[in-house]
Amino acid sequence: MSVREIFDNDNREIYRVRTHAAGPQGELPLTPDMLINRPSGDIFGMTMNAGMGWSPDELNRDGILLLSTLGGLRGPDGKPVALALHQGHYELDIQMKAAADVIKHNNALPYAVYVSDPCDGRTQGTTGMFDSLPYRNDASMVMRRLIRSLPDAKAVIGVATCDKGLPATMMALASQHDKATVLIPGGATLPALHGEDNGKVQTIGARFANGELSLQGARRAGCQACASSGGGCQFLGTAGTSQVVAEGLGLAIPHSALAPSGEPVWQEIARASARAALQLTRKGITTKDILTDKAFENAMMVHAAFGGSTNLLLHIPAIAHQAGCHIPTVEDWIRINKQVPRLVSVLPNGPVYHPTVNAFMAGGVPEVMLHLRSLGLLHEDVMTVTGNTLKENLDWWEQSERRQIFKELLFKQEQVAADDVIMSPQQAAKRGLTSTITFPVGNIAPEGSVIKSTAIDASVINEEGVYYHKGAAKVYLSEKAAIYDIKHDKIKAGDILVIIGAGPSGTGMEETYQVTSALKHLSYGKHVSLITDARFSGVSTGACIGHVGPEALAGGPIGKLRTGDIIEIKIDCKQLHGEVNFLGTDVDTILPSREEAAAILNARNTHPDLIPDPELPDDTRLWAMLQAVSGGTWRGCIYDVNKISEALQDYINKP
């Protein structure tokens, strides 16, 4: 195309151009005191607000900042003008407008800013996944800078939905110790009437390659999975878990997590959240009053009761760090997971694979919290964004019409009883639901590892609640290599896959969801185990052990494993104890003791081909170094400025 073709010389309208305009009419509500004592930025801000078309005489109202991960462009009919990266941020403008209307109606001044976010589903298997976890830190920093750019804002309302944008927003809100903050969860995508959920649908390639899905079946499934244009995934992945954690923290209003996107109740949640934020400003309740050590314990209990994503082991500590609260340790996670029974039956854990909107209809987070209260587990004296304590919120919920009506609607529309989705502790015990997370240790993972033990297929767990697997390792230096073998019939029942070099230093601690989802939905997958220094998507299931520490590129024993090594995995799903050990090299001979095996493994050199992924971006390499200095994955991959500063000073002053 030539330059002549680029320009449309027939469009004469372009020559109707103004070089001056009258400017806004009226006067700014300035006083002598403001002109003398206020920073020039405050006054120039009013000038720009008038230029954007807001009534000049209203510009001295309290500012409320709406901070969103909005993406894409929607036309007046809701159809896309430009596509978003994912549904989770596509419709957030509707919630933003609903909240802004409430703010304006209450004589305050709404502002809106955006820091959009990527889609972990879209970037699976690509170098974009290398940026996934680092993005969270970057986005949180940008959000905090935007908040500081409106220094006199009375409150900040976060509006977010998905895997990294939502934790980033929560981190940014948590850092606003002396401001009122509220989180509006962006809800969940509606499931299709006759389609697969949007976790399972990501496995159509692996199922087709293994002859377990036809080409036409793949085409149909790939098209039909998402029945609404907004909301997070229909399963309790990282996005859904982050929503329930926000509510568990008291940072979101009761019964706001997992709402069906686009529906009237979803819009009303935004309006109610705006009213809550305004009330907090009137009462002088700020973030530090809400986000306390007790609040984080409550959130961890909610996480355990829902059977949430292991990614929150990275996000909750990061939020706690920003709030200036105690950062949960492995011991804290073990203690809470032993105390708290799993009560929720949804995708991907089951035992019945309800979409997450069913959990919302069954009462959501407050319903789960009522059960936890009956066990005496919750800190009910904590303050929440309603301006009331958790006890007051739960007392209201227990007697509310809203609770009853939504349960009735669930049964009427889906023929699903609410207590089949959210169970009492007694019901959960009868159904065999076990606690959520186990932290295996052993000579392969001396610093620990993570497995969502509640997601192991029940058919491969014995009557004592133990999963046991001993077999030969197949070692891969990338997820790409592992998924290639899965798609080309090179993985068999009984194999133990080991993916190394996928921790922070290798790939930015990517999600190995391609592999874990394939194993979930292939017929032989429940008989295959996975061990890796990477992390998993929240929808990952099976005997998948991640977060192995130290990571391979830090000299961890996992980086010394070789194909053919004999590995033993033992996970006690009831007692929440696990081990993952290298036993030796020859299945046909008497294996050495565990102590001897550990000595053999430690004496080895790291795998000769182990290097950071050649496509690892420089900025992600920098993130890996900074988070490692700050305490690494077990402190949430945070940036601890004090520790980073000390390390730099030590380097500068090094003789």
**Enzyme catalytic residues:** 537
Residues 6+ away with beta carbon under 8 Å from 31? none
**H or E element, residue 314:** helix 312-323
Measured distance CA(52)–CA(528) in Å, rounded? 59
Q: Using DSSP bridges, classify how beta strands 566-572 and 577-584 pair: parallel, antiparallel or unpaired.
A: antiparallel
Q: Where are the alpha helices (DSSP H) in 375-512?
A: 390-399, 401-414, 418-421, 425-430, 479-487, 504-507
Measured distance CA(191)–CA(194) in Å, rounded? 9
DSSP-assigned letter for residue 88: H
8 A C-beta contact, residue 169 and residue 213: no
Measured distance CA(226)–CA(87) in Å, rounded? 9
Measured distance CA(588)–CA(629) in Å, rounded? 43
Instruction: Name the nearest CA neighbour of 476 among 503, 497, 504, 491.
Output: 497
Amino acid found at 234: Q
8 A C-beta contact, residue 290 and residue 173: no
2: tokens are 């030539």
Instruction: Name the nearest CA neighbour of 234 among 269, 187, 267.
Output: 187
Residue 341 dihedral angles phi and psi, to the nearest 5° = -80, 150
Instruction: Name the nearest CA neighbour of 71 among 204, 206, 268, 229.
Output: 229
Q: What is the largest CA-CA distance in the chain?
A: 91
**H or E element, residue 546:** strand 544-549
211: tokens are 């002859």
Bond preceding residue 366 cis, omega within 30 of 0:
no
Query: In which residue are the tokens 């590995």 written?
Result: 567
8 A C-beta contact, residue 478 and residue 501: yes
Q: In what order do the strands lie in the sheet with 63-68?
A: 109-114, 63-68, 155-160, 180-185
618: tokens are 């420089």
Residue 26 dihedral angles phi and psi, to the nearest 5° = 110, -165
